[in-house]
Amino acid sequence: MLIYEYKLHGSKAQYAAIDEAIRIVQFIRNKCLRLWMDSRGTNKNDLQCYCSVLAKEVPFAARLNSQARQAAADRAWVAISRFYDHCKQQKPGKKGYPRFQHDNRSVEYKQTGWKMEPDGKHITFTDGCTIGRLRLVGNKKQKIAAFPTKQIKRVRLIKRADGYFCQFAVRTERCIEHVPTGKHVGIDMGLSAFLTDSDGNTVENPRHLRKAAKRLKMLHRRLSRKQKKSANRKKARKQLAKAYLKVQRQREDFARKTASTLISSHDLIAYENLKIANLLRNRKLAKSISDTSWGRFLSWLNYYGVMHGIAVIAVEPAFTSQDCSACGTRVKKSLSVRTHMCSGCGLVLDRDHNAAINILARVYRTGGQSETGGQPQNAWGEATSTVLSAVARPQATSWSQEPPVL
Ligand SMILES: [Zn+2]
């Protein structure tokens, strides 16, 4: 699936109609959730059937296209099945019992309820929500109209701080001819550099969030000074939301470009399979980690890997920064020690460079399968806390993953 995104231009009344559709989606999702809570054993199919019941009982729900209603019910099911999965796997900690939503920002149509105009620059929504005809504004190079309508599987309308957007999910066999380079590489993602590869190259950290932090802080302060429910407060909140959106887009852009560059210049990429959600729970590190946006980078890396048909392999993180990449001696070091100095063979190497070599070597040795020896340690060689022990769980090689959704 490829995702194309456009900004939407329409009238105020049309935007209000989109808001209404978004509210209906939330209403249906929450109603489905309520049904599941109230009657045990409700399954996905029951939720689908409940959609048409709702449409008959509640006049405003009927205005939304029937497939979009089903997509709303699917969302409820996604939340429910995630909860079931967590219970089944006996995931430690909270299981994520589904919650009612009140901040929904999008509505998803499937293959009905909308049509592309022949000019390829407009889309018309044809259901009872009266959204009507909207202009698509976007990069001239992306031509959604070039795809047969059949291949457009989903159309999603999204409300953001700076306007309304339309995403198209297109099923296509897009493949890029990969020019073989014969180069294999291991990458270590760290805090000092965004990543270091096994050849010793580094990509520096763009600390968008840090740079923008000053401005965000100022905007936060401005917001807190405004009177509750005043028009000025609303304005200040909007400014703040826009500032956050900007940071988010810069981060996405960086993640995508870094991944694309790396993929097009290598035939195999190995990375450490860090469980980012777990790391984020370590509060000391949280800010710099979320700042560096590893998660977005990894999903783009896998996405481009599939597109180029090259292997992107996750290896287990145990001891990659401790072991010597030349002789295998385990040299214990704390996070603050930035250089690997081997007591066995005398090798002196940058800590992250040494780790990246180990990561690549692990692929050849184990094919990316887990290799647990001794106590689990985190990526920086610190003694592990309980949260980090989850990292040691084996994970199969990831040749393919879902495409990233912007
Ligand atoms: Zn050594």
Indicate the range of 113-117, 257-261, 387-391 predicted with least confidence.
Answer: 387-391
> Is it the case that residue 391 has pLDDT exceeding 50?
no
CA of 354 to the centre of ligand 1 (A): 10
CA of 336 to the centre of ligand 1 (A): 20
CA of 319 to the centre of ligand 1 (A): 14
CA of 161 to the centre of ligand 1 (A): 53
CA of 51 to the centre of ligand 1 (A): 64
Indicate the range of 18-27, 219-228, 292-301, 388-397 predicted with least confidence.
Answer: 388-397
Indicate the range of 35-39, 70-74, 289-293, 308-312 predicted with least confidence.
Answer: 289-293
More confident residue, 378 or 148: 148
pLDDT in the model for residue 44:
93
CA of 330 to the centre of ligand 1 (A): 8
CA of 328 to the centre of ligand 1 (A): 6
CA of 271 to the centre of ligand 1 (A): 22
CA of 341 to the centre of ligand 1 (A): 8
Task: Say if residues 279 and 293 touch (Cβ distance below 8 Å).
Answer: no
CA of 199 to the centre of ligand 1 (A): 17
CA of 285 to the centre of ligand 1 (A): 29
- State both tokens at 324: 């010597």
CA of 355 to the centre of ligand 1 (A): 13
Q: Edge-to-edge strands of the sheet including 152-160? A: 106-109, 152-160, 163-170, 2-9, 132-137, 122-125, 114-116
What lies within 8 Å, CB to CB, of 157 at 6+ separation is 8, 18, 21, 22, 106, 107, 108, 109, 131, 164, 165, 166
More confident residue, 306 or 211: 306
What lies within 8 Å, CB to CB, of 210 at 6+ separation is 291
| Whole-number average pLDDT of the chain | 83
CA of 116 to the centre of ligand 1 (A): 62
Indicate the range of 47-61, 178-192, 254-268 predicted with least confidence.
Answer: 178-192
What lies within 8 Å, CB to CB, of 20 at 6+ separation is 60, 63, 129
CA of 180 to the centre of ligand 1 (A): 32
pLDDT in the model for residue 295:
82
CA of 367 to the centre of ligand 1 (A): 23
CA of 181 to the centre of ligand 1 (A): 29
pLDDT digits (tens, 9 = 90+) for 248-276: 888 888 899 999 999 999 999 999 887 66
More confident residue, 294 or 73: 73
Task: Say if residues 64 and 128 touch (Cβ distance below 8 Å).
Answer: yes
CA of 386 to the centre of ligand 1 (A): 30
User: Residues whose CB is under 5 A from ligand 1 (ion)?
Assistant: 324, 326-327, 329, 342, 344-345, 347
Positive or negative, the CA dihedral 8, 132, 67, 56 is positive
- Rounded CA separation 80/103 (Å): 18
pTM, two decimal places? 0.71
More confident residue, 314 or 283: 314
CA of 335 to the centre of ligand 1 (A): 19
CA of 323 to the centre of ligand 1 (A): 8
Predicted confidence band of residue 403 (pLDDT cuts 50, 70, 90)? very low
pLDDT in the model for residue 72:
95
> Is it the case that residue 318 has pLDDT exceeding 90?
no
DSSP 227: P
pLDDT in the model for residue 378:
32
CA of 340 to the centre of ligand 1 (A): 9
CA of 345 to the centre of ligand 1 (A): 4
